[in-house]
Copies of this chain bind each other. A is one copy, B any other.
Amino acid sequence: MATVPLLTDEELSPEARAVFDDIRAVRKSDFVNNFWRALAHDPALLKATWERLKQVMGSGREGGLDPLTKELVYIAVSVANGCSYCIHSHTAAARAKGLTEAGYGELMAVIGMAMQTNGLVTAMQVPVDEAFLA
């Protein structure tokens, strides 16, 4: 259970409703997930978060990252931070954007490998090689 009530569509302020309208338009779906319903208590924070998310996770720059890669990076951060909600929502998003079973398996393997070597490097306090600082 959240530390704030999740707002239904009927409980939204006009400012929050305008953000929900944009979420629905951009995503071409009537579904608005709980993250936004929790943020809806604070229309300014809701709006700032959505505007930034839309910009960062969207189509992107020329020569930048494709939307699926962005989702994988998002999942990776969320796993290391232990954010259960974020893992569920962005794993769903990654699948919707084309993550295959083979890709999911490799994602797991890379996350596991990174966690493991992060632990080893930190435990041994390995100094950064000059070559990486050039």
Mark A residues whose CB is within 8 Å of B: 1-4, 6, 31, 33-35, 38-39, 41-42, 44-45, 48-49, 52-53, 55-57, 60-65, 69-70, 72-89, 91-92, 100-129, 131-133
Q: Determine if B120 and A39 form an interchain contact, defined as CB atoms under 8 angstroms apart.
A: yes
The interface centre, meaning the residue of A3, A85, A104 with most chain B CB atoms within 10 A of its CB, is A3
On chain B, the residues within 8 Å of A65 by CB distance are 72, 103, 106-107, 110
CB proximity of A79 to chain B, nearest CB, Å: 5
Assembly stoichiometry (copies): 6
On chain B, the residues within 8 Å of A2 by CB distance are 124-127
Bound-state CA distance A50–B39 (Å) is: 22
Given A102-B61, A107-B73, A121–B52 Cβ distance below 8 Å?
Answer: no
Q: Determine if A34 and B73 form an interchain contact, defined as CB atoms under 8 angstroms apart.
A: no
Given A35-B121, A115-B77, A127-B2, A57–B110 Cβ distance below 8 Å?
Answer: yes
Q: Determine if A118 and B86 form an interchain contact, defined as CB atoms under 8 angstroms apart.
A: yes
Q: Which of B6, B88, B117, B132 contacts A133 (CB 8 A)?
A: B88
Q: A44-B105, A81-B122, A82-B122 are in contact. List 17 more A-B contacts (CB 8 A).
A: A3-B91, A31-B131, A57-B113, A63-B101, A64-B100, A64-B106, A74-B114, A76-B76, A76-B80, A77-B111, A78-B118, A84-B125, A85-B122, A88-B128, A92-B132, A112-B120, A115-B116
